Amino acid sequence: MEIIAQYGTLFTSMALIFAFYACWAIGANDVANAMGPPVGSGSLSLRNAVIIAAIFEFAGAFIAGGQVTGTIRKGIVDPQVFAEAPHLLMYGMTAAVLATAMWLHFATTRGWPVSTTHTIVGAVAGFAAVGVGVDTVKWSKMGSIVASWFVSPVLGAILAFILTMSIRKLIMDTEKPFDNAKKWGPFYVFLVGFMISLITFFKGLSHLKLKLSDAETVAAGVVVGVICAIVGKIMIGKIQSDATADKEFFHASAEKVFIPMMAFTAAAMCFAHGSNDVANGIGPLAAVLDVVNSGGKISGKSPLPLWVLTMGGIAIVIGLATYGAKVIATIGTKITELTPSRAFSATLAAATVTAVASKLGMPVSTTHIAVGAVLGVGLARGIGALDLRVLLNIVVSWLVTVPAGAVGAALIFFILKGIFGA
């Protein structure tokens, strides 16, 4: 308790700075997950992608970012284990968020689309297991989290495959693909608005004092979906066919229809990403604030301040705007060739799986989901459409990430313990 009284303000400041750094790195690295397909397919310029991401990443973090934060803050390590030595939890969470930021920054400089979720989960488990004791880690919870890492890319791949095949059947493999694209386009846009709003409202948004019944949630989702469909229809209606381009590529005009639709899916993916991944940066900060503000009492039940979510959202936006282009090409162009319709399928699938996971409080990897979705789109064209060497490199980088976070956090934990006392 004396350590917290003496150094609490210092650790609050340190955790705040490190959390901002971590969220900046999340924005810089994970921008590929949200914006790789839209930019890689040529549907959005990098500038427009950053503008859309800035708005909806922040909105997702602020409006719907609290649920997963609880899993990072309380789900991986049992806070009650630190009841007799709360300063160790303060050290550990500070170490975890700094280790996360440093690894993500390092990976981003090399263009590696690594998982921020893997990094922070590994960091929290690493400092707790090595620095305090193996029993401090909730291994059953870790098991469910690890399982979600494998399940989520499979779900992303399956959903993207289904969406790609539906677009092929309803639009691309018909006699009039352009006309059918304009016919079915608003329906797909409705799915975007309906799914994301449904998941968001189902989460309850308790920190915004908003709680809807199931019927009200479905009704709100339909309303948002219809509004999106109307706006989408207006945008699609302005697109004209290009007979010259269609002679060179039969689906050229039909693909043009999906370009404005990508704005909706890109916004949805950014919202879903912000709601899920803000937890990676601010979860440890919330734990430090809890310990310091309570004077060392371990409750794990203090409400998450809105200013923390706001700070996380702003940092993510700054990261993707200033340093995000380094990893965007990997998912957008190197795994498989993406057209606007394929990118639409991949991004909608990734956004849906990410949002569902966020609702369930599972800190899944948006990197895994996005790669899985792009993989599903490629498989719809056959295994030959995939660059397996790129996929292998991505998987290897995933395997390195967890131990990197764990080792980094453990080392920083021992340094803090040596400086400030055990």
120-145 confidence digits (pLDDT tens):
888 989 998 887 888 888 887 777 76
258-312: per-residue pLDDT in tens? 998 888 888 887 887 777 677 778 888 888 888 888 877 776 555 567 788 788 8
- The candidate with the shortest Cα–Cα distance to 409, out of 51, 68, 84, 122, is 122
For residue 388, the model assigns a pLDDT of: 86
- Please, which residues have CB within 8 angstroms of residue 263's CB and are 6 or more apart in sequence? 44, 52, 235
Q: Quick one: pLDDT at residue 141?
A: 72
Rounding to the nearest 10 degrees, give the CA dihedral for residues 83, 87, 91, 97.
60
Mean pLDDT, the chain, as a whole number? 84
CB atoms within 10 A of CB 393: 14
Rounded distance, CA 318 to CA 100, Å?
17
| Contact predicate 323/105, CB 8 Å | no
pLDDT of residue 206 exceeding 70: no
Residues 371-403 have pLDDT tens digits of 899 899 999 888 888 888 888 888 888 888 889
What's the half-sphere exposure (Cβ side, CA atoms, 13 Å) at 63? 19
Q: What confidence score (pLDDT) does residue 143 get?
A: 77
This prediction's pTM:
0.82
Instruction: Identify residue 289 by its one-letter amino acid code.
Output: L
Max avg pLDDT among 75-89, 246-260, 285-299: 246-260
DSSP tag of 295: T
pLDDT in tens, 20-38: 999 999 988 877 667 888 8
Six token digits for residue 363: 């800190």
8 Å CB contact between 366 and 196 = no
What is the SS3 assignment for 237-272? Answer: HCCCCCHHHHHHCCCHHHHHHHHHHHHHHHHHHHHH
